Amino acid sequence: MNFLLRFLTCIVFFINSFIVFSQNISNTDDQKTTNREVVQKIESKFGVVIYYEQRWLDNNTINFVPETAATVEEALNFFTARTNLNFIKVQENSYALVPKEVLKNILEQRDTLLNENDNLIVIGNINSYIKGKKIELNGIVKNGQNGEPVIGATIYIKSLKLGVVSDSKGVYTISLNPGKYTLNVSSLGFEENIIPIKIISSGELNIELFEKSIKLDEVVVLAQSADRNVNRSQMGIVEIDKKILKQIPPVMGERDIIKSFTMMPGVKSTGEFGTGISVRGGGNDQNLFLLENTPIYNTSHVFGLISALTPDVVENVTMYKGFIPAEYGERVSSVIDIQLKNGNNKKFKTYGGIGILNNRLSFEGPLYKDKVTFIAGGRSSYSNWMLTKIPDEELANSQANFYDLILGLNASVTPNNRVSAFFYNSYDFFNYNKTIEYSNKNTSGEIKWTYYKNSSLYFTFIGNYTNNTVIKNDFEIPSEKSTKEISITSIGIKSECNYAPGGKHAIKAGIQANEYLSEPGRLKPYNSQSFSLPKNVNLKKGLELAAYVSDNYQLNDKISINLGLRYTQYMNIGSDTVYNYNGRLIEGNTSGLTPTIYSNNQVIATYQNLEPRLSLKYQFNTSTSTKISYNKNSQYLSMISASAVPTPDDFWQIATNYIKPVQTTTYAIGLYKNFLNNSIETSIEGYSRELNNLIEIKNGAKLYVNEHIETELLTATGKTYGVELYLKKNSGSVNGWISYTFSRSLKKTSGKLPDEKINNNSYYPSNFDKPHDLNLMLSYNYNRRLRFSFNFSYSTGRAVTLPDKIYKSGDNWLVSYKYRNNERLPDYHRLDFSISFDESLKIKKRWKGSWTLSVINVYARKNAYSMYFKKEVPSKDNNYREFGLYKLYIIGIPFPTLTYNFTF
């Protein structure tokens, strides 16, 4: 009965647009009774409402009033028997008149949907069936082997030429008419799953894909759908997962998630093997590294030799380098979103690797039935045997070791509630020639609750914590041994709502709060014998509040738009002491300055920014599209560093009343064209970015443990622009990509006093200016398991400041630097090569091992990492020079590594 009622309701809705209420009709004729009058009389007599379309009644005229009918049904039967209409009861006291032909069609269609009994998967409830109304099919595409969501899977309906792509959680939504369809679900590296369905009303269909044995002629390097570069509405997105990683020659025996980005257009390493990356000319500190939703401040081990996260626990990494969606803030250049695996919900799996620098081990599996899964991984370095082999006295006298650990849990508490959490810890220790000792510790954690209201609406609530502490022990001057501690802590909460109605919209809205606690430096004597004086810079506190909303709207087959707005309010809060410099600080003398003391949590300075985000795609056809984007971003946290490459002395400086937040406006345009059935991708993207309130350091600035750091800093504006070309071959035995970027990154100060001017206030190259950048990645699959990979990189040397004058002052020779970034390091180029023998393709084989032999820097290029001026004791090593300009290179020889990776 319930079904019938709903069914009839649907019919009413179906004819809703044509129907009029009979009560509203007042047209009467004394001479003859019209059908309308008959219906009105029935309504009046029996106290019911009858729905109909006017034109249906106009074609029938009878002169009969059913005065004798005892019931409404009897009256309607009598009436309809003399017309081509039929009636149906919608609900109590309401009926509808429908032409007999129309009703017959509806009933036949219903019966068809109800009675077919083939192999179709039936989705939806017949009680919810409404003819002609668009309904939604949604669900999650998962890896059948481990239950992990499959990102970027294509769900395609050939008959409609309609397709959608699963998102970062594997979720897809597609809008359809009720009916029968065949879903072709595919993702690279997985067997295609063809699913015939019969969809009656909105419903859910979770799909599993299984990894396939790769045939030689089907080798594809991207896990995402091959035409995604053309289809998706956003631009400037780079995605890297384990399938891409496999193609790239590993460094130090390990495939590196973060460094892999530097082979993509617009992304450059700031120093060979350095941890920092520059995205479209931005600084190291302008990239937000998110582990799930938690910011990570130290992303590498051993000054950037390898990334600080074991790759086995990572599902995928996405970089937003152009258009940054509104849900992301905090940084102005890029967001690197690292998604962890959920953990295999089918069986326990173990991954490991034995390399020359470290070994690693990871586990994943179900903990409780199908509800709770875990992932755990860790790495640890060997003893510093490698350093002892280096033919450099100082490095041979050095020590380095590290480890990292991660534990993640995922629990489906109820079908609608999912809770996940992770804990991450990394540690680095480095002792340089027994004169300087660094330790770097990172601790992070997150808990996330996701509530699925229904298939198109879910909410997430996140709390996270991260801390990075660097301790430096300086033994260089034995009588002044000191310990310096620098730390940054971030505590955040976030709530987000995701709503995807009708398959055309993907709406996100959320609120977010982050508290930053920055300790720029605490200096104390290393021991009681040390003459070093204790110095302490007050803890700096900032609170960033944000609210955002965005909609990814598929306007039609050709146009889609991603529109977002982010509002941020930032407060620098106490307790702290703020000095009024009356213009400027004179020669380090702070006496006579009037300090203002702020109590705990008292607001010192407030800033707010409105950050619109827009990305628009116009798709010419299935293989060609063009996109434009516009972004405004702000950043309330900047790294203070004297160097282009990150150093352990660097510290995070929050925005204060003197140091304003960095603001950027970015425009970008791109053209995307695929060839040969998406087997070849090409793109060209151009961008221009304006930057305000950039931090620049004065000449000779005393940056470290300085309570008056603002007096050592300048405000600069900047501009970056560039063009990025990209060509990628996705399939075949030979595949890979080539990218070329031309870009500039320039800065300019506008100070009035001599020491407030850098290069006379004219534009000069920033530390990250490398105009030409070329990357070639080539992979040749000899057979299903044997692969040869080559990677060649070239870039202009980065800008550096070198001394231009030398003079003798007293007994000492001194140098002077005049123009900032007046010179460049020599051009950088390097060729890497690897041979990989992949694991067995036999699905039933439990232990699977793979070997990779790689040679980094094949032709022994001594690429400069940094350049520095140094006074030395004359010796054979320095050609008996007392002073010298030195070039430091990290690897000046072909460096072979052999790695064994395993899984069981």
Partner 1 sequence: MSCKEIYNDYEVKLDQNYYVINGAIYETPGPYMISVRKVLPYTNNVNSLMDTLDNVKDAEVRIKSDKGENVLLTEISPGVYKTRKHDIKGEIGHKYSLYVKTNDGDEYESAFVEIKKAPEIASIDAKIEKRPVLQTDRYGEQYVEEKEGLNFSILSNSSLTSGNVKIDTRIIVETIHSEGESTVFCWFQLKDEVPNVKVLNSVSTSDLKELPAMFLIPVPNLPATKTRSIKITYGYIVEVKTYFIDSVQYKYYSEVKEQLQAKNKIFDPVPTQIKGNMRCISKPEKEVYGNFNAASVSVKQSFFSWVPGLVNVYKKDMLKTVVIPEADCKRNLAPKFWQKKN
Residues 377-436 contacting partner 1, CB under 8 A: 386, 389-395, 397, 432-435
Taking CB under 8 A as the rule, does residue 453 contact partner 1? no
| CA separation for the pair 496, 547 (Å, rounded) | 10
H-helix or E-strand spanning residue 158: none
C-beta of 534: minimal distance to partner 1 in Å? 10
C-beta of 548: minimal distance to partner 1 in Å? 37
C-beta of 431: minimal distance to partner 1 in Å? 12
Going by the DSSP 8-state scheme, the letter that residue 881 receives in this structure is -
Taking CB under 8 A as the rule, does residue 701 contact partner 1? yes
H-helix or E-strand spanning residue 285: none
C-beta of 893: minimal distance to partner 1 in Å? 7
H-helix or E-strand spanning residue 515: strand 505-525
By beta-carbon proximity to partner 1, the closer residue of 258 and 644 is: 644
Residue type present at position 261 = F
C-beta of 650: minimal distance to partner 1 in Å? 10
Q: What Cα–Cα distance (Å) separates residue 393 from each residue in 274, 302, 401, 598?
A: 22, 18, 19, 50
- Among 242, 504, 744, 887, contact with partner 1 (rule: CB under 8 A): 887
Taking CB under 8 A as the rule, does residue 667 contact partner 1? no
By beta-carbon proximity to partner 1, the closer residue of 526 and 780 is: 526
- Among 469, 647, 657, 679, contact with partner 1 (rule: CB under 8 A): 647
Taking CB under 8 A as the rule, does residue 898 contact partner 1? no
- Among 33, 439, 469, 643, contact with partner 1 (rule: CB under 8 A): 643
Taking CB under 8 A as the rule, does residue 82 contact partner 1? no
By beta-carbon proximity to partner 1, the closer residue of 593 and 642 is: 642
- Among 196, 478, 501, 502, contact with partner 1 (rule: CB under 8 A): 478
C-beta of 588: minimal distance to partner 1 in Å? 6
| CA separation for the pair 759, 543 (Å, rounded) | 35
**Residues forming a β-bridge with 722:** 687, 743
What long-range pairs does 792-796 form, CB within 8 A, spacing at least 24?
Answer: 792/829, 792/830, 792/831, 792/832, 793/262, 793/263, 793/828, 793/829, 793/830, 794/827, 794/828, 794/829, 795/268, 795/770, 795/827, 795/828, 795/829, 796/770, 796/771, 796/772, 796/824, 796/827, 796/828
C-beta of 336: minimal distance to partner 1 in Å? 24
Site string (249-278) toward partner 1, x via CB under 8 A: ------------------------------
Under a CB-based contact definition with an 8 Å cutoff, are residues 446 and 477 in contact? no
- Among 533, 734, 786, 898, contact with partner 1 (rule: CB under 8 A): 533
| Residue 330: both structure tokens together | 């905090």
Please spell the DSSP secondary structure of 523-562, one letter per residue.
EEESSTT--PPPEEPPPEEEEEEEEEEEEEEE-SSSEEEE
Taking CB under 8 A as the rule, does residue 761 contact partner 1? no
| CA separation for the pair 525, 531 (Å, rounded) | 7
Under a CB-based contact definition with an 8 Å cutoff, are residues 350 and 376 in contact? no
| CA separation for the pair 876, 874 (Å, rounded) | 7
By beta-carbon proximity to partner 1, the closer residue of 747 and 820 is: 820
**Cα dihedral 886/887/888/891 (nearest 10):** -140
| CA separation for the pair 815, 805 (Å, rounded) | 6
C-beta of 590: minimal distance to partner 1 in Å? 10
Q: Are strands 207-209 and 135-143 parallel, antiparallel or unpaired?
A: parallel
| Residue 83: both structure tokens together | 């017309």
By beta-carbon proximity to partner 1, the closer residue of 848 and 862 is: 862
Taking CB under 8 A as the rule, does residue 817 contact partner 1? yes
Please spell the DSSP secondary structure of 220-257, one letter per residue.
-S-SS-TTHHHHSS--SEEEEEHHHHHHSPPBTTB--T
- Among 596, 871, 898, 904, contact with partner 1 (rule: CB under 8 A): 871
* 719-758: contacts with partner 1 (CB under 8 A): 754
- Among 676, 860, 885, 898, contact with partner 1 (rule: CB under 8 A): 885
By beta-carbon proximity to partner 1, the closer residue of 55 and 805 is: 805
- Among 140, 153, 645, 714, contact with partner 1 (rule: CB under 8 A): 645
By beta-carbon proximity to partner 1, the closer residue of 513 and 802 is: 802
| Residue 664: both structure tokens together | 């950027």
- Among 883, 896, 900, 902, contact with partner 1 (rule: CB under 8 A): 883
Number of residues counted as binding partner 1 (CB under 8 A): 88
By beta-carbon proximity to partner 1, the closer residue of 137 and 400 is: 400
| Residue 170: both structure tokens together | 């594997």
Q: Are strands 734-749 and 772-781 parallel, antiparallel or unpaired?
A: antiparallel
* 101-160: contacts with partner 1 (CB under 8 A): none
Taking CB under 8 A as the rule, does residue 525 contact partner 1? no
| CA separation for the pair 243, 730 (Å, rounded) | 12
Site string (623-642) toward partner 1, x via CB under 8 A: -------------------x
- Among 703, 714, 777, 831, contact with partner 1 (rule: CB under 8 A): 703
By beta-carbon proximity to partner 1, the closer residue of 264 and 867 is: 867
By beta-carbon proximity to partner 1, the closer residue of 556 and 760 is: 760
By beta-carbon proximity to partner 1, the closer residue of 81 and 807 is: 807
Which stretches does DSSP call E strand in 355-398?
Answer: 358-368, 372-381
* 19-78: contacts with partner 1 (CB under 8 A): none
| CA separation for the pair 7, 471 (Å, rounded) | 71
* 783-812: contacts with partner 1 (CB under 8 A): 800-812
| CA separation for the pair 679, 903 (Å, rounded) | 30
Taking CB under 8 A as the rule, does residue 481 contact partner 1? no
C-beta of 858: minimal distance to partner 1 in Å? 15
Taking CB under 8 A as the rule, does residue 889 contact partner 1? yes
* 153-182: contacts with partner 1 (CB under 8 A): none
- Among 421, 727, 814, 855, contact with partner 1 (rule: CB under 8 A): 814
| CA separation for the pair 250, 247 (Å, rounded) | 9
Taking CB under 8 A as the rule, does residue 527 contact partner 1? no
- Among 360, 891, 897, 901, contact with partner 1 (rule: CB under 8 A): 891
Please spell the DSSP secondary structure of 728-790, one letter per residue.
EE-SSSEEEEEEEEEEEEEEEE--SSGGG-SGGGS-EE-TT---EEEEEEEEEESSSSEEEEE
* 819-838: contacts with partner 1 (CB under 8 A): 820, 823, 826
Taking CB under 8 A as the rule, does residue 782 contact partner 1? no
| CA separation for the pair 676, 374 (Å, rounded) | 41
By beta-carbon proximity to partner 1, the closer residue of 752 and 808 is: 808
| Residue 849: both structure tokens together | 């091992």
By beta-carbon proximity to partner 1, the closer residue of 465 and 895 is: 895
The residue assigned the tokens 């350093």 is 387
Taking CB under 8 A as the rule, does residue 709 contact partner 1? no
- Among 884, 896, 900, 902, contact with partner 1 (rule: CB under 8 A): 884
* 550-609: contacts with partner 1 (CB under 8 A): 587-589
Under a CB-based contact definition with an 8 Å cutoff, are residues 786 and 835 in contact? yes
C-beta of 369: minimal distance to partner 1 in Å? 51
C-beta of 524: minimal distance to partner 1 in Å? 15
